[in-house]
Amino acid sequence: MTDERILISHGSGGKKSQELTERTFLKYFTDPALLLMNDQAVINIDTKKIAISTDTYTIDPIFFPGGNIGSLSVHGTVNDISMSGATPIAMSAGFILEEGLMLSELERIAESMAVAAAEASVRIVTADTKVVARGSADRIFINTTGIGILSEKTNICGQGAKVGDRIILSGTIGDHGIAIASSREGIEFSTPVISDSASLNYLVQTLLEAVPEGVHVMRDPTRGGLATVLNEIASQSSVGILIREAKIPLKKAVIGACELFGYDPLYLANEGKMVALVREPDAEKALEAIKSHPLGRDAMIIGEVVDDHPSKVVLRTLMGGRRLVDRLTGDMLPRIC
């Protein structure tokens, strides 16, 4: 088993496909809806409003400090669902495997997905596997599509920012980006940087229980980083955003790595952080709630929504200057998620 590899026939839909499913996937994916092995899963729901989110993961390397493409594919989609205020309940998994991938690697990835899904109380209810010839993909790509249930009154979205809202960042930025960059370059730091990849649904739940009406926008600063999501929100809500460099939590090792690589941490990807825009009267209570959760320990209020410079993000620097924080131009770190 340990030196077995994926063959083209594992994607045939025939006997070898069945073997792959039974030996590798069904060991870890054990949801009753999935085990029925129909071409679709049927699940019961009790809601009038659902959130749907899709993400394809092409991260390179597929195993990295703090996780692998499997755990990441669950965390990322759980987080996208959670950012609407929805409770993620179910998820699909679509695999593209390159001929030659080690079955043992696929097993580790499937196991990580199952563990991550269980931790987030999300069911993996349906899956699909395709195999392509060597050279037509890079080892493994995974699509996960998630479904969450929403209460009818919840309306948290990029269009919801209001002047005066406080911007809470749930912790340090850049950890995921630096973990991937250093792992890709084979560089080891004295203090290793570990990806922050994690499911934020319980952190979000804690926040929404503390300030049920107070949250206007939530978003996770993944690909493109904090700068990109703040620009998206500023533009979607036609408001200005002002953030303070001094307030942005950063690990020392990340600052050092950014100097080494020449990266701006504002553009580095995160996979276990959220930005929440909260109305001013609820801001302190919201911050406290976030800080009470292990994934929000280092949270800070980093800025606010202003009625100046609509659709633009401005940073007040450590030196007291102001600079425009534009969207990312070019490509900083391809295949970061």
Range 247-306, binding its own copies (CB under 8 A): 267, 269
Which has the closest alpha carbon to 103: 131, 64, 73, 61? 131
**Interface map 26-45 toward its own copies (x if CB under 8 A):** ----------xxxxxxxxxx
- Per rule CB under 8 A, is residue 51 in the interface with its own copies? yes
**Interface map 196-225 toward its own copies (x if CB under 8 A):** -----------------------xx-xxx-
Distance CA 205, CA 82 (A): 9
Distance CA 164, CA 300 (A): 16
Interface with its own copies (CB under 8 A), residue from 8, 26, 250, 260: 8
Interface with its own copies (CB under 8 A), residue from 20, 28, 55, 201: 55
Rg (CA), the chain: 21
Segment interacting with its own copies (CB under 8 A) among 144-152, 176-184, 252-260, 291-299: 144-152
Distance CA 201, CA 58 (A): 23
- Per rule CB under 8 A, is residue 138 in the interface with its own copies? yes
- Per rule CB under 8 A, is residue 238 in the interface with its own copies? no
Distance CA 323, CA 264 (A): 13
- Per rule CB under 8 A, is residue 143 in the interface with its own copies? yes
Interface with its own copies (CB under 8 A), residue from 2, 3, 135, 294: 135
Give 89-102 as a DSSP string.
EEEEEEEEEETT-B
Interface with its own copies (CB under 8 A), residue from 26, 137, 250, 260: 137
Q: How many residues bind its own copies (CB under 8 A)?
A: 86
- Per rule CB under 8 A, is residue 150 in the interface with its own copies? yes
**Residue pair 156/218 in contact by the 8 Å Cβ criterion:** yes
- Per rule CB under 8 A, is residue 153 in the interface with its own copies? no
Give 201-245 as a DSSP string.
HHHHHHHHHHSTTTEEEEE---TTHHHHHHHHHHHHHT-EEEEEG
- Per rule CB under 8 A, is residue 14 in the interface with its own copies? yes
- H or E element that contains 256: helix 252-261
Count how many residues are written for the chain: 337
- Per rule CB under 8 A, is residue 22 in the interface with its own copies? no
Segment interacting with its own copies (CB under 8 A) among 11-19, 110-118, 253-261, 316-324: 11-19
CB-nearer residue toward its own copies: 12 or 238: 12
Interface with its own copies (CB under 8 A), residue from 6, 62, 69, 96: 96
Q: How far is the CB of 330 from its own copies (least distance, A)?
A: 5
Distance CA 119, CA 211 (A): 24
Distance CA 332, CA 197 (A): 19
